[in-house]
Amino acid sequence: MGNDKNNAVWVGFDLGATKMLAKVYNGGFNELGRNKSKTRSNQGMDAGLQRIVECIRKALDAGGVPDGNVAGIGVGSPGPLDLDKGVLLSPPNLGWDNAPLKKTLEKAFKCPAVVLNDVDAGVYGEYRQGAGRKARCVVGVFPGTGIGGGCVYEGRIIRGGNKSCFEIGHCRVLPDGPLCGCGRRGCLEAVANRLAIAAAASAAAYRGEAPYLLAQAGTDIAKIRSSVLAASIKAGDKAVERIVRMAASWIGVGISSAVNLMNPDVVVLGGGLVEAMPDIFREEVERAAREHVMPEFEKDFKVAVAELGDDAVAIGAAAWAREILTSK
């Protein structure tokens, strides 16, 4: 169908550890069709890649778009990735090794495909159609099981040589702090991700300081999800609120380093924790970030909650594919 921005059809795909989402857009980025499916990574890499193809094909069917009318496909995927080859190297939550995603999609749909980090895709989506619209520079931070970061500068996603970067979750904020999953100590992720919050909240429940949380989830960290933490705070568990606010303030400290480096117009906060407790996270992140940035930058940025929700990655992946493929 060619690479005409106004007439082409684009596909955005969000590859998650447990679910996948495909969305189809026309040149004006109006949605034509969508399809959601379970990832089922335990079935193996080949079966997983085939499920991705099937999910996209069903989205195209829903939009009445033949395979041959697709100008390009963008995929937001967890890393680590070989961005140039479009290969998923060894994403820990999928259990695949060297998955040839770009090659698989290009063979199946006879069009070019672009693979990028899922957080980068989400931040780019917010830059194009969400909380970061029209900004010169957007920094995005998405706390959850990990703490992902991304940055769009003058319309381009910042990346390394062949890898995604902006790993704000692995900035050191607490010397000799707790061990992080990356093997270092004191990373932002180790003190402020959902598991760190859940562990502290579990201890508070055990001590009798969070009666609602204890009644709803006991002390089982696996059951202390973002929605449960939000409900606990709403029910009056002050200890849980203090824990969440402390974690959010650590995120603000980490973001202050990004502000000092990039001087963004907008810092966008997203992910499950922020969606469940948007006011707490925005307030604490903004307060801590402004306290720790250079005085000259203190008033240069705003902190905003992401607007696109679960659609951010698919929107951003499709928009980035269009940007890359039509600029060649």
- Gap between the Cα atoms of 270 and 105, Å rounded: 28
For residues 212 and 277, membership in a common domain is answered with: yes
Q: Is 28 exposed, middle or buried (0-12, 13-18, 19+ CB in 10 A)?
A: exposed
- Gap between the Cα atoms of 78 and 321, Å rounded: 17
For residues 116 and 139, membership in a common domain is answered with: no
Average pLDDT over residues 109-116: 96
For residues 155 and 116, membership in a common domain is answered with: no
For residues 56 and 198, membership in a common domain is answered with: no
150 lies in a domain?
Answer: yes
- Gap between the Cα atoms of 326 and 328, Å rounded: 6
pLDDT of residue 212 exceeding 60: yes
2 lies in a domain?
Answer: no
For residues 148 and 167, membership in a common domain is answered with: yes
178 lies in a domain?
Answer: yes
| Residue that the structure tokens 């696996």 belong to | 222
CB neighbours of residue 254 within 10 Å = 27
| Predicted pLDDT of residue 22 | 98
pLDDT in tens, 243-262: 999 999 999 999 999 999 99
pLDDT of residue 315 exceeding 50: yes
Q: Give me the domain span that covers residue 189.
A: 134-307
| Predicted pLDDT of residue 5 | 52
> Which amino acid type is present at position 312?
A
pLDDT in tens, 131-160: 999 899 999 999 988 899 999 999 999 998
Of 144, 124, 129, nearest to 313 by C-alpha is: 124
CB 74, CB 11: distance < 8 Å: yes
Return the percentage of the chain with pLDDT > 90, whole number.
83
pLDDT in tens, 29-84: 899 999 999 887 677 899 999 999 999 999 999 999 987 889 999 999 988 899 99
CB 273, CB 144: distance < 8 Å: yes
Which structure tokens are listed for 182?
Answer: 């990356």
CB 289, CB 259: distance < 8 Å: yes
Mode of pairing for the β-strands spanning 99-100 and 87-88: antiparallel
- Gap between the Cα atoms of 265 and 263, Å rounded: 7
Residue 307 pLDDT grade (very low, low, confident, very high; cuts 50, 70, 90) = very high
For residues 239 and 320, membership in a common domain is answered with: no
pLDDT of residue 99 exceeding 80: yes
Kindly give the interhelix angle for 238-262 and 226-234, rounded to the nearest 10 degrees: 120
For residues 187 and 294, membership in a common domain is answered with: yes
Which structure tokens are listed for 191?
Answer: 């003190």
For residues 146 and 286, membership in a common domain is answered with: yes
| Predicted pLDDT of residue 3 | 44
- Gap between the Cα atoms of 273 and 268, Å rounded: 13
| Predicted pLDDT of residue 92 | 72
Spacing of C-alpha 169 from chain mean position? 12
Which structure tokens are listed for 306?
Answer: 């992401």
| Predicted pLDDT of residue 1 | 41
CATH number at residue 115: 3.30.420.40
Q: Which pTM value belongs to this model? A: 0.93
Q: Peptide bond preceding 278: is omega within 30 degrees of 0, i.e. cis? A: no
Average pLDDT over residues 158-185: 91
For residues 180 and 108, membership in a common domain is answered with: no
For residues 73 and 29, membership in a common domain is answered with: yes
pLDDT in tens, 86-98: 999 987 778 888 9
For residues 80 and 216, membership in a common domain is answered with: no
Which whole-number Å values give the CA distances from 183 to 43, 172, 304, in the listed order? 29, 12, 31
For residues 30 and 170, membership in a common domain is answered with: no
pLDDT of residue 178 exceeding 80: yes
How many domains is the chain partitioned into structurally?
2
- Torsion sign (Cα): 290, 291, 292, 296: positive
